[in-house]
Amino acid sequence: MSDEREQARVRVDALAPQHQARAAEWAARLGLPQGGEADFALQLGDEGLQLVDLSPQAPGPVRVDFVEGAAAHRRQFGGGAGQMIAKAVGVQPGIRPQVLDATAGLGRDAFVLASLGCEMDLIERQPLVAALLEDGLARACDDAEVAAIAARMHLHTGNAIELMQGWQGEAPQVIYLDPMFPHRDKSALVKKEMRLFRPLVGDDLDAPALLAAALALATHRVVVKRPRKAPIIEGTKPSYALEGKSSRYDIYPKKALSKG
């Protein structure tokens, strides 16, 4: 963990009195103070949990919302099984692989795959990001339209390498990795989140070990999402890649997915 992340101060705030008790629960669970000087605030309000950078001219808060906004638009108009991520993990007629997203982040890619019918396990190691994701999944489970999708998403918090090495139960068919990288994505949303999370998360300098653990556990394939012009992860070379405008998917096949 970098010194920058060690020095980032985070507090928990309730945005209204009725959220005070739940905010206190989050503070106790995450080992964070309520009130006082801080660089970031984890805020609980009527719309759920959100993380905000308290510095001047910082981007707005980030929260996980699978019900409305970008997630809803992509679910309704995103291209379904024709999306590149679906092709990368092996979604085909009659085939919906069981997928482990070992770098879940805010869960967007996992939600897309779950909306297509894939059973998803998600691992997120940064506790604040995992808290946002847990809160978003809980709210999604209360919505009639997306509850069935959220029910296919199972969150694990912890170090992905360690969890994969000690995986309990049936091994995932496909493991999906999107390690933190100095992204040059120009979308305002991604830029905002990168600015917010980089001091807390940093880059995934252990990506080679992450890939090695994934290759040891997955039964059928590993998929790594990268910026389009980024180098491959050091170690085993991918067999092929699917390339889009801003990103690509490096594919490491082990055996063919089949129906049933």
- In eight-state DSSP terms, residue 32 is -
Taking the C-alpha atoms of residue 159 and residue 243, their distance in angstroms, rounded to an integer, is 29
User: What is the layout of strands, in order, in the sheet containing 120-124?
Assistant: 153-157, 120-124, 99-101, 174-177, 221-227, 247-253, 240-243
Phi, psi dihedrals of residue 157, rounded to the nearest 5°: -110, 130
Type of residue at 138: A
The torsion angle over the Cα atoms of residues 139, 63, 65 and 87, rounded to 10 degrees, is -120
Residues 29 and 102: beta-carbon distance below 8 Å: no
Binding residues for S-adenosyl-L-methionine: 108-109, 124-125, 178
Binding residues: 108-109, 124-125, 178
Taking the C-alpha atoms of residue 113 and residue 108, their distance in angstroms, rounded to an integer, is 9
3-state helix, strand, coil in the chain (%, to 5): 35, 20, 40
Type of residue at 111: F
Supply the DSSP string of 50-77, one letter for each residue. Answer: EEEE-STT----B---SSSHHHHHHHHH
